[in-house]
């Protein structure tokens, strides 16, 4: 399955749909780079994500790094529960969650 990344112009969110796995994460990173350019802050909505593996965690860490380099804020909403579990097991949960989006985890 492929991954789609697009700007929801109504909400100014970046939406992600499909799988974030080893097979799609590099494509997703390229799509994020293209879609994030015009936004003053990055709010990334993971509602449409259907499957993740540990490479999705690496993607989120890379997105945080890219945002910091561009002096942008980034927040992740509706993270898949599996991704939060991977982050917790890796002791990296604090890198991908905030008080705002901890309550927005998608079960």
Reported as a single tens digit per residue, the pLDDT across 65-96 is 999 999 998 999 999 999 999 999 999 988 88
Question: By percentage, how much of the chain surpasses pLDDT 90?
Answer: 64
Task: Provide the whole-model pTM.
Answer: 0.85
Provide the mean pLDDT of the chain: 87
Q: How many CB atoms lie within 10 A of CB 105?
A: 17
pLDDT of residue 102: 46
- Hey, is 7 helix, strand or coil? strand
């Amino acid at each position: 399955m492929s991954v789609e990344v697009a700007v929801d112009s109504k909400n100014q969110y970046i939406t992600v749909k499909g799988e974030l796995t080893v097979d799609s994460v590099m494509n997703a990173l390229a799509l994020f780079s293209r879609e994030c350019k015009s936004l003053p802050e990055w709010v990334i909505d993971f509602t449409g994500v259907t499957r993740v593996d540990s490479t999705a965690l690496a993607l989120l860490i890379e997105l945080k790094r890219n945002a910091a380099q561009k002096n942008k804020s980034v927040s992740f909403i509706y993270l898949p529960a599996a991704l939060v579990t991977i982050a917790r097991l890796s002791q990296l949960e604090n890198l991908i969650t905030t008080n705002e989006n901890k309550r927005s985890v998608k079960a």
